[in-house]
Structure 1
Amino acid sequence: MLTSLPLYARLPLVFEVEAMRAAMQAIPADHWQAHFNSGYYEGDWSGVALIAPADAPSALAPGAGQAAGVATPLYDAFWQGLLGRLDLDLRSARLLRLGPGSRIREHCDPDLGMPGSDMRLHIPIVSPVGVEFLLDNRRIPMQPGECWFLDLSRPHRVENRADEARVHLVLDCRPSRWLYQIIETGLASTPEAAASHGTELFQAFRRLVHDDAQLTAKLADITDAGDFTAAVVALAGVYGLVLAPDDVQSAMRQGRRDWIEQWMA
């Protein structure tokens, strides 16, 4: 069994994409609810609950403790057959949709990082080109039909620059020996996560600043973090580098972490 969990792992499980899409499309449109974390996103982030913790304040929300998961009326024979073959103690199963042009801002889910806390799995159903899922500022290359463990107690965010919605089946489950084993098995074939597109643009802007004394001077005297972020976004745009505030803040946080790790080595 793993002594510590990885940041991410693609599990040795495969799901039939077209069948999941058909079942998803059969759900009435008025059953999709806006995500409860309204301060975390821009645009459309919505979902439906198939299983919800018995003590959850709403169907899409996590429970307050470790109460068992309770099936909703949408947990029909198809979803039961799909998830029933997994040796998982499910507390939550949700379909989460991020609309075109929408974004989930960078945040952490600290309840997932506590000893004995739930473990979260993502199964992409619809994931068009233009969707970027960033975990610790790395692009997680999840593809439809795959199943991934993600340590979402770490900083993460999602950008949907595509023309269609992204939909994932998201499972919260209790830790188990079987789950640890398939995470360990999957690690051997898990593809490498690349740097985010925003990080690449930020590094390009850093090179411009390094080579341009006037550009350096425009940023040197800004002490407020919010003002600095806004200035970087604006100046980068002049050079055709389209950065979001989260791109700048994430890159700077990563730079600080890298510096600390080098200093402590």
Structure 2
Amino acid sequence: MKLAAPFMQLPLLFNASLVTEELKNISEQEWMPHPQGFPGNSMLPLVAVNGDPTNEGFAGEMSPTPYLKRCPYLFQILATLRVPLGRTRLMRLSGNAEVTRHADQGYYWADRVRIHVPILTQPSVRFECGDAVVNMAAGECWIFDTWRQHRVLNDSAEQRIHLVVDTVGSEPFWMMVGAGRDHNKKNFANVWSPKHIEYDRDAEVNPRFERANVPTVMTPWELKARLGFILSEAPPSANTPMLRQNIAQFCRHWQALWAAFGEHKEGWADYQGAMNQFMQQIDQLCANVVLNNELNMASVVHTLVAKVAISGAQAWLGDGEIRGAAASGSSIKHHQVAPVDPMFDRPVFIVSSPRSGSTLLFETLLRSPSLLTIGGESHTLMETMSELSPATNGKGSNRLTSSDATPEVVAELRRRFYEALKSRDGSAEKSGRVRMLEKTPKNALRIPFLKTCFPEAVFLYLYRDPRETMGSMIDAWQSGRFNTYPNLPGWTGLPWSLLLTPGWEVLNGKSIAEIVAAQWESTTKIMIDDLASLPKKDVVVTTYHEFLRSPAKVIEQLCSTLNIRWDETIPEVLPLSKYTLSTPNSEKWRRHEEDIQRQLPRIEAAMSLAERFLNERNLALI
């Protein structure tokens, strides 16, 4: 929450020593690592969704965890605050550790103040917020401006423990704030008169807990207020008039949808479609806009608005500690890592439209002694990160760009891949820089994002005749084996299969042939545009037909180009791949010839785009 001052001290003093005694009832094994794995940070959940200490979400009824129930004085402290209690934890910072500089940009904290009560601390602990610095003494009660950049430094060898409470506040609470003082000890009222709160065994302790915290559908009034606040935090630029116009038009459109649907499920697909279109405009206009608190504007709009505006449709459960590091220059520069990647040596990403033979190419290349893979496709590895799942990231499709590669996302994704990599023999042992081979069809829509996460990445584009590809895509839809998003809001056809392309909402009620044509067209246009923007050294191209006709020759050429070692004999006829539905045959598509021929005029421009791209790489279509 943005406050008028960086720090505010409330006129309350608690007995920190007594809380320390209560914490002896908590074993070391019950403390949990920070959800984002920040070094030296650990926590003990006290109030969580449904009282479940393992639930890091923000949506749902908050209740005390078993740990809080074992600490009666802590319970009394929380009741003293006289607020509806949101997520509450004990946060522990080990000796000589820090909470790195960031601003809290998550939706949950937009209207919630964060209360800190130091339990165990030392005079050398520095809490910085903006230009202000304080040392919060044990037992004091503070709030601070989480919208500003802030950090904590523990220079002591001893650990630091704070009680941290998130709440929207209340009238009595804000009256207490009004009787407080700032970090310079300037009183807000005439007299500083803190109240000492000792443990009262006979006190009636009935704190209130949050029940409503995330909207099913954001009201047009909240939407307008959120976007207005973000815009007010942005410095004027040449794009400001256009940005104001787009926001005003979007808010009016949302108001009309609200009048028609309210929170009803029938409108979720319309809401999501409107949001997807708006966010494309935001990505274009705000990619390089830095707010007054040093956060990237496009990232903040995604987090404060897009992720939660249709929470019912997205089943949003929260993102853990959403931290925004300061932006610098363009958003792409902000997310770049060191010029020499210390972990990933020229990782290879196979990209293509779905059903183009990429699995066969992947399963052949993974036999190289140079390459490590996660053993298959990365759907689960990536989309269990809420920032990368179309159900929770506000994107509404598998499209990801460099603006989605926040430092936290980059670090977590790289860690997940590195830990999951195995050699062709199944060994997980690795040291130093590794050569990774990755193949997931959705990556065709993620090229700028992946290039930001893996700066040395090389993209291997596999082209296949679009008629054959669409024929195989129709088979995939009809087989039911490739369902990726079976519960799309508002979708009435067969369960959605294959990758989720931008604008999928308009395909509702269309034939399977029309759907796969749209998938192929959208994927190809996005993929070719993204590949064309990369340096030529980072793109390698081959065709499915040439690979089937001369597999040994193609693998030899690819290994030479990509500097990959090879030590196996490749058979003249390759084995069937894992996801093959029937034996490969260039004429199989004719089973759906009539339907496919009707779609060819629609995708003619995308076909020409792909052909020009391959011809520019001096690769004849075969």
TM-score, with normalisation over the residues of structure 1? Answer: 0.63
Deviations 1:52-95 (A, max 9, x none): 13499944x3514xx33211111123322232233111012211
Please state which structure has a larger fraction of its residues in strand. 1
- Is 2:156 the counterpart of 1:157? no
Q: How does 1:1-265 map to 2 (within 5 A)?
A: 5-38=4-37, 41-42=38-39, 44-54=40-50, 58-59=54-55, 61=56, 63-64=58-59, 67-76=60-69, 77-111=72-106, 114=110, 117-187=111-181, 191=185
Q: Secondary structure at the match of 2:164?
A: strand
**TM-aligned CA deviation for residue 6 of structure 1:** 3.0
1:253 aligns to what?
none
CA contact (8 A) 2:126 2:133 kept: yes
What is the letter of the counterpart of residue 119 of structure 1?
A: V
CA contact (8 A) 2:9 2:182 kept: no
CA contact (8 A) 2:134 2:183 kept: no
CA contact (8 A) 1:55 1:63 kept: no
Structure 1 residues 182 and 190: CA distance shift in structure 2, 3 A:
farther
Deviations 1:161-196 (A, max 9, x none): 10100000001112321222111110278627xxxx
Deviations 1:117-136 (A, max 9, x none): 22110000111132111111
Q: What is the distance in 2 between the residues matched to 1:16 and 1:146?
A: 9
2:551 aligns to what?
none
Q: What is the distance in 1 between the residues matched to 2:57 and 2:109?
A: 14
What is the letter of the counterpart of residue 146 of structure 1?
A: E
Deviations 1:19-77 (A, max 9, x none): 01111232111110111122xx33x1001011113499944x3514xx33211111123
Q: RCO (CA 8 Å, sep 6+): is it higher in 1 or 2?
A: 1
What is the letter of the counterpart of residue 17 of structure 1?
A: A
2:215 aligns to what?
none
Give the number of aligned pairs: 186
CA contact (8 A) 1:56 1:62 kept: no
Q: Secondary structure at the match of 2:179?
A: helix
CA contact (8 A) 1:56 1:63 kept: no
Q: What is the distance in 1 between the residues matched to 2:52 and 2:58?
A: 4
CA contact (8 A) 2:130 2:148 kept: yes
Q: What is the distance in 2 between the residues matched to 1:93 and 1:131?
A: 22
Instruction: State the percentage of identical aligned residues.
Output: 26
1:252 aligns to what?
none
Deviations 1:196-242 (A, max 9, x none): xxxxxxxxxxxxxxxxxxxxxxxxxxxx999xxxxxxxxxxxxxxxx
Deviations 1:145-172 (A, max 9, x none): 0000111121111111101000000011
CA contact (8 A) 1:57 1:63 kept: no
Structure 1 residues 23 and 102: CA distance shift in structure 2, 3 A:
same
CA contact (8 A) 2:31 2:44 kept: yes
Q: What is the distance in 1 between the residues matched to 2:61 and 2:36?
A: 22
Q: What is the distance in 2 between the residues matched to 1:190 and 1:62?
A: 36
Query: What runs of 5+ residues in structure 1 fail to find an aligned partner?
Result: 193-223, 227-265
What is the letter of the counterpart of residue 69 of structure 1?
A: M
Structure 1 residues 113 and 161: CA distance shift in structure 2, 3 A:
same
1:206 aligns to what?
none
Q: Secondary structure at the match of 2:136?
A: coil
**TM-aligned CA deviation for residue 16 of structure 1:** 0.6
CA contact (8 A) 2:125 2:135 kept: no
Q: Secondary structure at the match of 1:75?
A: helix
Structure 1 residues 57 and 81: CA distance shift in structure 2, 3 A:
closer
Structure 1 residues 97 and 132: CA distance shift in structure 2, 3 A:
same
CA contact (8 A) 1:54 1:63 kept: no
Q: What is the distance in 1 between the residues matched to 2:162 and 2:51?
A: 23
Q: What is the distance in 1 between the residues matched to 2:52 and 2:25?
A: 25
Structure 1 runs of 4+ aligned residues shifted over 6 Å read: none
What is the letter of the counterpart of residue 68 of structure 1?
A: E
Q: What is the distance in 1 between the residues matched to 2:103 and 2:166?
A: 15
Q: Secondary structure at the match of 1:107?
A: strand
